[in-house]
Structure 1
Amino acid sequence: MTSEATRLDSAATSISESRTVLAALDIDGTLAPSGTMQIAHAVQDAVSRFRAAGHHVVLASGRSLVGVLPIARILGLTDGWVIASNGAITARLNQRALRGYELEDVQNFDPGPVVRLARAMFPGVQIGAERVGWGYDVTHLFPTGQLNGAQQIVSPDYLGERSTTRLVLRGPGVERLAGPVRAAGLTALLLEPGWVDVTAPGLSKATALEKVRANLGIDPSRTAAIGDGENDLEMLRWAAHGVAMGHAPARVREMADGVTGTLDQHGAASALDALSV
């Protein structure tokens, strides 16, 4: 752990030489236990201190937008950007807007070919297609907590005819679909056994964050990211200083510039405090 702490201190020392930092924060496994809204007061306070110091916080999550917005409210984020669905959606928080946000970038794709392929290979596959700001059209209801927002059962044909930002494939063995989906030019993420996320070509949290960085005029050397999962790898590479949570898989920890504490140790809070020194 000594070498990991040294790497984190080194990253913080380097970035603290800059005045304004853009910090991208994963949610599940980084700020809160997966699928929950439970953010420790220590983490909430650290986010507040970081922003009070003049830095930018951007939530960057695999959650749908309706799952990201409550986290923003808990953290007191009333302006700035949030990224949802692994980079498919970028929204700007705006309390004067009717819904409290404005969509900045929405990357849709045609789910039809994937839906047909999935049903041909796995007749019982469960499919969900995101409806931005509302929830999902689904072929079967997903268990509570697995998708953000409401669910509406529709026919597979209807689901495949409407463009979407994110397609979820769930069922035993669906991991085998990742290869063909990628071969077709789309982005496929294996988030857990029996679960594949599909988004438009070339998308990741990093691609969305780069647009936000350019919009804010932040120098690339003043970027940081904190995450714990496989879907955070591109984000951690994108950041000048990528910090992995202490409980992250070895591949994620080894690739990061620094390693902080675990979720139970409020590692995100420690990393933010170190970066804002």
Structure 2
Amino acid sequence: MTMPRLIVSDVDRTLLTHDYVLPQRVADAVRVAQDRGTVVVLATARSPLGVRPFAERLGIADLVVAFNGGWIGNVATGSALSQQRISRSDALHAMATAQAAGVRPMWFTGDAVFALMNDPLIAREAAVTREPLFVAETIEALPGEPGKIMCVAGGPPDREAFAMLRETLGERLSVSRSHPRLLEIGPPGVSKKTAISLVTARLGFAPAECAAAGDAENDLEMLAWAGTAMTVANAVPPVIELAHFVGPSCDEGGLADAIAWLMRSQQPKSTAAQSMGGRDG
């Protein structure tokens, strides 16, 4: 295995801890990869605004995949290379269906978040990404066409509604989980994989020359596409089964171990994984 030309990483619970902190050792590892000539790209379900602070801190704000692949561009300037939105009719239908199912839908414009009611779980999610939150008086008052809709579950009964939403909305929209309590709804055909495929085609990189890191269902296609798949110990089981390398939990900065493993790629895999404290798949 040779050092990949591109590393694409999920953000929440992969790059960041469960408390949404970027460990210094992870930031240092990203810079080491860049110094070795590897392009590093973030691919996230967050909005461009929500991911911007971390992309800027890492010095990689000029090329970011946001909204689960629905937006590609420079998060510092807001300039988009590619952008897809949910049609207003489909978005309003999704909001009404999710609201009726009791799973707290949130309408993301890219500049702000809109909800249909005041709810502490919605407020918590908006606070995570530090985006302004507004409550629309009626569903028709929701503005324009959203980049994504995110549904928030409050407990197991709400999460059971996710299966119904996937079945109801999945034929017309992209639907996937970014966390057991979060269901992401986007334009049809949108995914992190399709977005990073577009990015690498523009850069002239083949999938075999790329490494991907993620932890959740919405990362699976991207991880399967990349030549090398990496994850952290807190990932969902299907991701761990797919990964070539499993590092410690995101709370321990496990992505730094994965990047260090890539840096040591000239060594036999078993030696590299053992020396870095991870599991070589």
Secondary structure of the equivalent of 1:264?
helix
Return the TM-score normalized by structure 1: 0.82
Deviation at 1:276, TM superposition (A): 3.2
In the alignment, structure 1 residue 105 sits paired with structure 2 residue 85: no
Q: Distance in 2 between matches of 1:117 and 1:273?
A: 45
Decide whether aligned partners of structure 1 residues 215 and 262 sit closer, same or farther in structure 2, where only a CA change above 3 A counts: same
What are the superposed Cα offsets for residues 211-242 of structure 1, whole Å, 9 maximum, x if unpaired? 11011111221100011112111110111101
| CA contact 2:115–2:135 (8 Å) conserved in 1 | yes
Q: How many residues align?
A: 249
| 1:182 corresponding residue in structure 2 | 170
2:244 paired with 1:262: no
Contact 2:247/2:254, CA 8 A, preserved across alignment: yes
Q: Which residue in 2 is equivalent to 1:158? A: 141
Greater Cα offset, 262-271 or 46-55: 262-271
- Answer yes or no: is the 8 Å Cα contact 1:188–1:196 preserved in 2: yes
Q: Decide whether the 8 Å contact of 2:17 with 2:23 is kept in 1.
A: no
Report SS of the residue matched to 1:197.
strand
Q: Does residue 208 of the first structure (1) align with residue 195 of the second (2)?
A: yes
Q: In the alignment, does 2:8 pair up with 1:24? A: yes
| Greater length-normalized contact order (CA 8 Å, ≥ 6 residues apart) | 1
List runs of 5+ in structure 1 lacking aligned partners. Answer: 1-13, 94-98
Taking a change above 3 Å as real, the CA distance of residues 126 and 276 of structure 1, as seen in their structure-2 partners, is same
Aligned: 1:55 with 2:34: no
Q: Tell me the secondary structure at the aligned position of residue 190 of structure 1.
A: strand
The answer to whether residue 109 in structure 2 is matched with residue 131 in structure 1 is yes
Distance in 1, Cα, partners of 2:83 & 2:145: 11
Letter in 2 for 1:72: A
Q: Is 1:34 aligned to residue 22 of structure 2? A: no
Instruction: Describe the SS at the equivalent of 2:185.
Output: strand
Residues 54 and 198 (structure 1), Cα distance of their counterparts in 2 relative to 1, 3 Å cut: same
User: SS in structure 2 opposite 1:77?
Assistant: coil
Identity %: 28
> Do the aligned partners of 2:178 and 2:184 also contact (CA within 8 Å) in 1?
yes
Return closer, same or farther for 1:151/1:252 CA change in 2, 3 Å cut-off.
same
* Secondary structure at 1:29 match in 2: coil
Amino acid paired to 1:146: E
Per-residue deviation, residues 77-101 of structure 1 (Å, max 9, x unmatched): 353x1111211111135xxxxx534
After superposition, the C-alpha distances for 1:166-206 in whole angstroms (9 at most, x for unaligned) are 012335353121210103x2111234455422101111111
SS where residue 152 of structure 1 aligns? Answer: strand
In terms of fraction of residues, the more helix-rich structure is 2
Following the alignment from structure 2 to structure 1, what is the Cα–Cα distance between the partners of residues 182 and 251? 26
Question: Alpha carbons of 1:239 and 1:138: their partners in 2 closer, same or farther (altered >3 Å)?
Answer: same
Q: Check if 1:146 corresponds to 2:134.
A: no
1:192/1:218 Cα in 2 relative to 1: closer, same or farther (>3 Å)? closer
Gaps of 5+ in 2: 265-281
